[in-house]
Structure 1
Amino acid sequence: MTAPAPPTSWLIVNPASGSNTAKSTETLQAALAERGFRLGRTIAFPDDPLPDIATLEAAGVELVIVYTGDGTVNAAINALAGWSGAVLVLPGGTMNLLAKRLHRELAPEQILDIVAGGGARRGRPLCVRCDAGLALAGLLVGPGTCWSRVRESMRNLAIAEVASEAIGAIRHSATGPFVLAPDNALAREGGYPLVELTPGEHGLQADGYYAEAAIEYAAQTWAVLRRRFREGPHDRLGIADAITLASIDGSALACLIDGEPAECPSPFTFTVAPCGVDLLATAHDL
């Protein structure tokens, strides 16, 4: 019996992402060819536009492989909501939040081996929905998210700006409008400088991060850049289908959606919703 032909695939890369270089893209293209993937086109975002459903259907594409940072992953996947094909996310950025959710710590070549061998599962994992978009891996809320600006300066090698922005980020994290969870009996009355909302198979997990002194704010919010803030003191607020958050002064809620800055009105009820397109996973949900 003849094995079915592998699906026609398109690859999305982003030269500005943490792991993307001309060499890494060539290596990945070779790895795809070695494993029998039929690669029809490589899209270098942002010079090339992200594909839409009509473009993919016209080209007969059944699988989109995304090897970029989290922001481009989020944009590419949300643009394909309603598509009948599937998306394979590979770790091609700095944090690789969604790739870790789908594949844990596997390297791209290991993921491709599993997919080529028929060991991946296709599905639509739950995400966090808000007015500003759909967070596929996680959403941060609160003044502590201001550290994303420091991260961008570091990415752009704007060293002169990093120090001044870091000082401002420490101050804003400690004195900015804290985030309340008014309907949650476990939440602190004074709120939190940072609330993390993590989607998973059972719903939305909420954790409130706090600090007791200025030096702890500096250490904890700096850790946001490295995704290591989970090591700091926090309250587990539970798992639910929805949670309402509000800023202590009624101002807009500063957010990071899969690492990209956004805003939501205050108060706002964050909910879970399935991803709009099938994703390939090689590991249990985190």
Structure 2
Amino acid sequence: MKLGTIVNEKSGSVPEDGRDQLLALLEELGHEVALPASLEADLEEQVAGLNAAGVEAIAVWGGDGTICTVLQTSSDRTPVLVLPGGTMNLLPKRLHAGELNWKKIVETVLASPKSEWIPAGEVGRQRFYVAALFGQLTHLGESREAVREGALLEAVSILTDKDTLDVESSLEVEVNLAGERRAFPATAAAVLPDADGGLEIAVVAPDNHLDLAAAALDAMVKGWREGAHFHAAGAASIRMRHAKGDAISATLDGEPCEPGESVSVTYIAKAACVLVAGGGT
């Protein structure tokens, strides 16, 4: 197989000689390797150059930001082999059954490669493939890992004893669900692209800290979907606005952003083509 390679050696868990290690392994496994024409070019140019060179797949080793950019700019006909090189590695975990050893992933996937499409949610022009969180909780660093996992209520449970936690329902959320629009206030909302179709949303809208704590306890016992004040799957689109006109805080696959005082989240069924194991021998 002719494989293009993109490696961000500045990512959290990629070694300084990561590119050389990846190239050596691919060549050892008998694959033809292609490098971007310029390693100094931006990621979009590197991806375009590899596609123009006729690679059959692109192996990307980097953090969430690097992986997302490559997925968004890769050709529909060129699957991406996603390797964990960041801090949380949410998408690599999901695609490779929790495996985080990049060498094992390369060997396993290339032994029986299979191309498959994955969905995404989109906010503006930015996509997320695992989870997005909107609202107050995105400011609170101690819950960052739970936020990155999309575990909204787990994040809440960590923070219920914080004096600074604001339970005011400042978000106005509107969900388009099976042609019916439902609107409600929320303190925070988690949104996930559902592989079965549409967006999944869970929101917290507590009246007080005790209500917040109760929701968090339900989440720990039953799971965050059951513990949410509102949960729905299969939404075609979701809109949110800040009741006071402030910018909405958000994380998209763990990356913080402020998309503005209003947000529109849409579902993309075939957002990226990835390379995973399971193609047979």
1:195 is the counterpart of 2:190 = yes
Q: Give 1:143 shift.
A: 2.2
- Could you say which residue in structure 1 is the equivalent of 2:131? 138
- Could you say which residue in structure 2 is the equivalent of 1:225? none
Give 5+ residue unaligned stretches, structure 2.
145-158, 217-222
Q: Give 1:126 shift.
A: 1.2
- Could you say which residue in structure 1 is the equivalent of 2:209? 213
1:189–1:58 distance in 2 versus 1, CA, 3 Å:
closer
What pairs up with 1:105-120 in 2 under 5 angstroms?
105-106=98-99, 107-118=101-112, 120=113
1:150–1:237 distance in 2 versus 1, CA, 3 Å:
closer
Is the 8 Å Cα contact of residues 36 and 116 (structure 1) preserved in structure 2?
Answer: no
Specify which of 265, 280, 284 is matched with residue 275 of structure 2.
280
SS at match of 2:186: coil
1:240 is the counterpart of 2:197 = no
SS at match of 1:77: helix
Is the 8 Å Cα contact of residues 207 and 237 (structure 1) preserved in structure 2?
Answer: yes
Q: Give 1:242 shift.
A: 2.0
1:83–1:126 distance in 2 versus 1, CA, 3 Å:
closer
Return the alpha-carbon distance in structure 1 between the equivalents of residues 164 and 270 of structure 2.
33
SS at match of 1:39: strand
- Could you say which residue in structure 2 is the equivalent of 1:251? 246
1:61–1:13 distance in 2 versus 1, CA, 3 Å:
same
Q: Give 1:206 shift.
A: 0.9
What is the CA deviation profile of residues 178-236 of structure 1, one whole-angstrom value per residue up to 9, with x for unaligned ones?
33334589x9955123433344233211122467539x79xx8xxxxxxxx95995343
Return the alpha-carbon distance in structure 1 between the equivalents of residues 238 and 137 of structure 2.
19
Specify which of 59, 71, 74 is matched with residue 77 of structure 1.
71
Specify which of 167, 171, 178 is matched with residue 179 of structure 1.
171
1:101 is the counterpart of 2:97 = no
Q: Give 1:171 shift.
A: 6.9
Percent identity over paired residues = 24
1:65 is the counterpart of 2:28 = no
SS at match of 1:181: strand
Return the alpha-carbon distance in structure 1 between the equivalents of residues 80 and 121 of structure 2.
19
1:131–1:258 distance in 2 versus 1, CA, 3 Å:
same
Give 5+ residue unaligned stretches, structure 1.
1-5, 152-166, 221-228
- Could you say which residue in structure 2 is the equivalent of 1:129? 122
RMSD: 3.9
Once the two structures are overlaid, the 10-residue window that deviates more, 134-143 or 271-280, is: 271-280
Q: How many residues of Structure 1 are paired with residues of Structure 2 in the alignment?
A: 248
Return the alpha-carbon distance in structure 2 between the equivalents of residues 14 and 266 of structure 1.
33
What is the CA deviation profile of residues 116-150 of structure 1, one whole-angstrom value per residue up to 9, with x for unaligned ones?
222x3213211102214121222221122224699
Is the 8 Å Cα contact of residues 7 and 18 (structure 2) preserved in structure 1?
Answer: no
1:261 is the counterpart of 2:256 = yes
Return the alpha-carbon distance in structure 2 between the equivalents of residues 99 and 192 of structure 1.
30
Return the alpha-carbon distance in structure 2 between the equivalents of residues 14 and 27 of structure 1.
13
What pairs up with 1:7-86 in 2 under 5 angstroms?
7=2, 9-41=3-35, 47-52=40-45, 54-80=48-74, 82-86=75-79
Is the strand fraction higher in 1 or 2? 2
SS at match of 1:264: coil
- Could you say which residue in structure 1 is the equivalent of 2:156? none
1:172–1:76 distance in 2 versus 1, CA, 3 Å:
farther
Is the 8 Å Cα contact of residues 136 and 199 (structure 1) preserved in structure 2?
Answer: no
SS at match of 1:137: coil
SS at match of 1:104: coil
SS at match of 2:138: helix
What pairs up with 1:137-156 in 2 under 5 angstroms?
137-147=130-140
Q: Give 1:74 shift.
A: 0.9
- Could you say which residue in structure 1 is the equivalent of 2:148? none
Return the alpha-carbon distance in structure 2 between the equivalents of residues 236 and 87 of structure 1.
32
Is the 8 Å Cα contact of residues 132 and 263 (structure 1) preserved in structure 2?
Answer: no
1:189–1:203 distance in 2 versus 1, CA, 3 Å:
closer
